[in-house]
Structure 1
Amino acid sequence: MTIYPAIDIKGGRCVRLTQGRADQETVYFDNPAEVAALFKAAGSAWVHVVDLDGAFSGESQNLAAVRAIAALGLRVQLGGGMRSREAVERALGLGVSRVVVGTRAAESEDFVRGLVAEFGEKIAVGIDAKDGKVAVKGWVDTTGLGALEFAARMSGLGVGTLIYTDISTDGMLTGPNLPAQTAMLKAVKCRVIASGGVSRQADVGALAALAKQHANLDGVIIGKAIYEKRVDLPQALRDAAA
């Protein structure tokens, strides 16, 4: 199981939002590359980066910060504002290893099909769920689309990786929604990265145990718990590898 420490960028700074709300922002670092370097020093190979300004506006806003993170040699998984083929190409051109498409994926299967045909494993689809329904545009809008149904359709298009976020737990430090993650793992054959709610070392262990039961659990994204020192990243990496 891979640990994906998270860096959310807003206004060029590293922040965390509570349940995706722009008015619930905590700034942790002025320079996102600084925290990325700390993650690398701790032993992480990957970093999950979200351009929050891009997610809210629909256009990438923090590519200079993304470029600086990629230059460190980390494998970058980037989401936020990836709503056109040009945006995806631009991100990959910066050295990003995997681009996460969310809002546009919920709007157009043809868009996803074309990206997968051209870029293959470099494309992931982010599924952000609120009460089991897909949320889009930085979680501002909730669709009538069921998360599990949507996931099955994306898997059927050949998407190799899904990132499943339970919005109710994101940034709340209440523990991951294991039943929801389990249902997602059972619904698809492709890889799933769990996101939302990790609050302590034991949560990492619980997800690692789940990965032993479901081989398609690729990893977990951890954000606020690392910044709040509730999870020790080097220990989490060891737990995930055990």
Structure 2
Amino acid sequence: MEIFPAIDIRGGQVVRASRTDPAAAVVYDPDPFRVAAGYAAAGARWVHVVDLDRAFGVGDQSDLVAELVKRLAIPVQLGGGLWRVQDVMTMRDFGVQRVVLGVRALEDERALRELVDCFSDDCLAMAVDAKHGNGWARDWPLAASRTAVDLAGRAGDLGVSTVVYTDLAREGALQGPNVASAVAIAQEADVQVIVSGGVATLNDLVAVRDAGLAGAVVGRALLEQRFTLEEALACCSSS
């Protein structure tokens, strides 16, 4: 499995903010470049970046993302309000290795197929955020009428074979990731699942690994030094 240390960016700073309550943001570091460089130095093979300004519809951090990609020697997985074809193309031009599409991309399946046809399988993923098993999207209320499994399955049918799954009830709560739901999505939708939200301990990562999931996004636990990235990488590479 892969560990994705997370850097959520808002207003040029590293923050923790719930997607359902953008006003409740906690600043962890004013310098995302320093945080990213620290993860790279610790052995990260990826970094997971979320542009919260774009996700919340209050601008974007495109210039910062472009500079971050330029400075880092490891690939960037980028999410946050990305579903329009041109925006995805721009991020790829910046050098972003994998774009995590917002689930609203399913609203226009023709455009999504265009993106799938343009890029290799490793370059796209789909964000599936869920509340009580159903989808959730700030900019696409129809997501709530479908289950997370249905949304992931449709993404897979259209050629997006990797899903970043977040149980919003656990996001930033340090209560452990929803491994059971992530496994159900992987099995029923036949996609690779990266689980996000709730990782608090190394045992959480071991549970993700033992469940056969593709990876885990880790944010708050690393920022608050509940364990180190080196420890996380070591425990997930051992069996």
TM-score, normalised by the number of residues in structure 2: 0.93
Q: Assess if the C-alpha contact under 8 Å between 1:15 and 1:28 holds in 2.
A: yes
1:143 paired residue number? 144
Unaligned 5+ runs, structure 1: 212-216
For residues 58 and 120 of structure 1, the distance between their equivalents in structure 2, rounded to whole angstroms, comes to: 30
Unaligned 5+ runs, structure 2: none
**Helix, strand or coil for the counterpart of 1:173?**
coil
**Which letter does structure 2 place at the counterpart of 1:102?**
G
2:209 paired residue number? 208
Encode CA deviations 1:58-89: one digit per residue, 9 max, x unaligned. Answer: 86x10122122212112000111213111011
For residues 13 and 202 of structure 2, the distance between their equivalents in structure 1, rounded to whole angstroms, comes to: 26
| Bigger mean CA offset, 76-85 vs 162-171 | 76-85
For residues 210 and 80 of structure 1, the distance between their equivalents in structure 2, rounded to whole angstroms, comes to: 27
1:92 paired residue number? 92
Q: Assess if the C-alpha contact under 8 Å between 1:99 and 1:123 holds in 2.
A: yes
TM-score, normalised by the number of residues in structure 1: 0.92
For residues 104 and 150 of structure 1, the distance between their equivalents in structure 2, rounded to whole angstroms, comes to: 10
- 4+ runs of 1 displaced by more than 4 Å? 138-142
1:214 paired residue number? none
1:224 paired residue number? 220
**Which letter does structure 2 place at the counterpart of 1:179?**
A
**Helix, strand or coil for the counterpart of 2:56?**
helix
Do the aligned partners of residues 136 and 227 (structure 1) sit closer, same or farther apart at CA in structure 2, a change above 3 Å counting? same
- Displacement of 1:138 in angstroms is 6.9
**Which letter does structure 2 place at the counterpart of 1:225?**
A
For residues 140 and 13 of structure 2, the distance between their equivalents in structure 1, rounded to whole angstroms, comes to: 20
Q: Assess if the C-alpha contact under 8 Å between 2:104 and 2:140 holds in 1.
A: no
Q: Assess if the C-alpha contact under 8 Å between 2:128 and 2:164 holds in 1.
A: yes
Q: Assess if the C-alpha contact under 8 Å between 1:91 and 1:99 holds in 2.
A: yes
**Which letter does structure 2 place at the counterpart of 1:100?**
V
1:43 paired residue number? 43
Q: Assess if the C-alpha contact under 8 Å between 2:197 and 2:217 holds in 1.
A: yes
Do the aligned partners of residues 170 and 228 (structure 1) sit closer, same or farther apart at CA in structure 2, a change above 3 Å counting? same
2:108 paired residue number? 108
**Helix, strand or coil for the counterpart of 1:27?**
strand
Encode CA deviations 1:177-208: one digit per residue, 9 max, x unaligned. Answer: 12211211211222111111101111111111
Do the aligned partners of residues 19 and 90 (structure 1) sit closer, same or farther apart at CA in structure 2, a change above 3 Å counting? closer
Q: Assess if the C-alpha contact under 8 Å between 1:7 and 1:47 holds in 2.
A: yes
* Larger strand proportion of the pair: 1
Count of residue pairs the alignment pairs up: 236
1:123 paired residue number? 124
- Identity level (%): 39
1:64 paired residue number? 63
Q: Assess if the C-alpha contact under 8 Å between 1:58 and 1:82 holds in 2.
A: no
Do the aligned partners of residues 55 and 138 (structure 1) sit closer, same or farther apart at CA in structure 2, a change above 3 Å counting? farther
Q: Assess if the C-alpha contact under 8 Å between 1:19 and 1:169 holds in 2.
A: no
- Displacement of 1:123 in angstroms is 1.3
For residues 173 and 8 of structure 2, the distance between their equivalents in structure 1, rounded to whole angstroms, comes to: 15
For residues 225 and 124 of structure 1, the distance between their equivalents in structure 2, rounded to whole angstroms, comes to: 23
Do the aligned partners of residues 19 and 91 (structure 1) sit closer, same or farther apart at CA in structure 2, a change above 3 Å counting? closer
2:22 paired residue number? 22
Q: Assess if the C-alpha contact under 8 Å between 1:13 and 1:27 holds in 2.
A: yes
| Bigger mean CA offset, 118-127 vs 87-96 | 118-127
**Helix, strand or coil for the counterpart of 2:146?**
strand
- Displacement of 1:140 in angstroms is 8.4
